[in-house]
């Protein structure tokens, strides 16, 4: 018998000893003492049974993200079935914008979320985002009925939850999204990313924020960068970043992007 098989028997034996000894001692003393000991023994029995029967919690499997999709869903998959399947795998979305109809602005190409030419815009008339903690899936098309899954974002920032507390960041560990082929995840360091993608260089974003200037693939610009890092950009070393800054945003595909300048 191997060590793994023997361990549960030792655990069960210890539990039984813990129960038998108090029961034996309960025979000594008066009836009231015995009653109190019985109650304590019952509590110990329940506790012991719980310890023996408890199994470690399962960890949700990682989902691979790439420049052509997320997990089992490819860019171009019909929006309705894709969103239904994602909900089945990830649970009800924390944030669901519902279908939003964007508009045209005179003198500008694309479709805009509102009347501000510096606001979010893209190539589709209809938009929808569904988010689970750090993950947001983006859907778009000419109408809700012909829309498709077109992009994903994994971010520590609550971009699409307009009602979120400004200081309440998304949980970067949920769901467990990792880049296909490398396993790099949100919260990994700049050193981890460079080791997986040797050509990666840092860059400067809006407000001297630090971004991945040459990411593994193009992503969705959020006003600072498509791929972002913690820390502050060093203008004297424009492509450098400290090894210990962490990845705070990654993305793939397309989605609405704010205008600039």
Structure tokens at 118: 């510096």
The dihedral region occupied by 251, where left means phi > 0, alpha psi between -120 and 50, and beta the remainder, is: beta
Unique residue bearing structure tokens 């630090």: 210
The pTM assigned to this predicted structure is 0.75
User: Looking at residue 161, what is its pLDDT?
Assistant: 82
Averaged pLDDT in 10-residue chunks for the chain of 261 residues: 39 39 43 46 40 40 90 98 97 95 96 96 98 96 98 93 64 89 96 96 95 97 96 97 98 94 56
User: Looking at residue 261, what is its pLDDT?
Assistant: 56
User: Looking at residue 47, what is its pLDDT?
Assistant: 40
User: Looking at residue 107, what is its pLDDT?
Assistant: 93
Distance, in Å, from the CA atom of 95 to the CA atom of 132, rounded to the nearest integer, reads: 7
Cα–Cα distances (Å) from 12 to 6, 22, 37, 85, 149, in that order, read 10, 16, 21, 42, 52
User: Looking at residue 12, what is its pLDDT?
Assistant: 38
* Closest C-alpha among 94, 187, 181 to residue 135: 94
Return the ∠ at Cα 236 (arms to 232 and 239), rounded to 5°. 70
Element holding 246 (H helix, E strand): none
DSSP for 97-125, please give it: ---EE-B--TT--SEESSS-TTS-EES-S
User: Looking at residue 62, what is its pLDDT?
Assistant: 77
User: Looking at residue 260, what is its pLDDT?
Assistant: 73
């Amino acid at each position: 018998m191997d060590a793994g098989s023997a361990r549960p028997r030792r655990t069960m034996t210890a539990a039984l000893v813990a129960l038998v000894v108090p029961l034996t001692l309960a025979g000594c003393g008066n009836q009231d003492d015995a009653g109190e000991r019985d109650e304590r023994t019952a509590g110990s029995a329940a506790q012991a049974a719980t310890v023996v029967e408890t199994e470690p919690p399962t960890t949700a499997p990682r989902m691979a993200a790439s420049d052509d999709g997320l997990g089992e869903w490819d860019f171009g998959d019909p929006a309705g079935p894709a969103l239904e399947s994602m909900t089945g795998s990830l649970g009800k979305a924390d944030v669901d914008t519902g279908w939003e109809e964007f508009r045209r602005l005179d003198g500008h190409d694309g479709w805009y979320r509102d009347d501000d030419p510096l606001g979010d815009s893209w190539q589709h008339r209809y938009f929808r985002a569904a988010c689970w903690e750090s993950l947001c899936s983006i859907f778009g098309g000419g109408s809700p009925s012909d829309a498709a899954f077109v992009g994903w974002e994994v971010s520590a920032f609550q971009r699409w939850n307009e009602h979120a507390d400004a200081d309440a960041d998304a949980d970067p560990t949920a769901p467990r999204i990792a880049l296909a082929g490398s396993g790099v995840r949100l919260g990994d360091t700049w050193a981890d990313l460079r080791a997986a993608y040797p050509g990666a260089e840092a860059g400067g974003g809006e407000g001297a924020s630090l971004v991945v200037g040459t990411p593994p693939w193009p992503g969705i610009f959020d006003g600072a960068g498509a791929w972002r890092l913690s820390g502050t950009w060093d203008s004297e070393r424009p492509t450098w970043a400290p090894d210990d800054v962490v990845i705070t945003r990654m993305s793939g595909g397309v989605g609405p992007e704010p205008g600039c300048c």
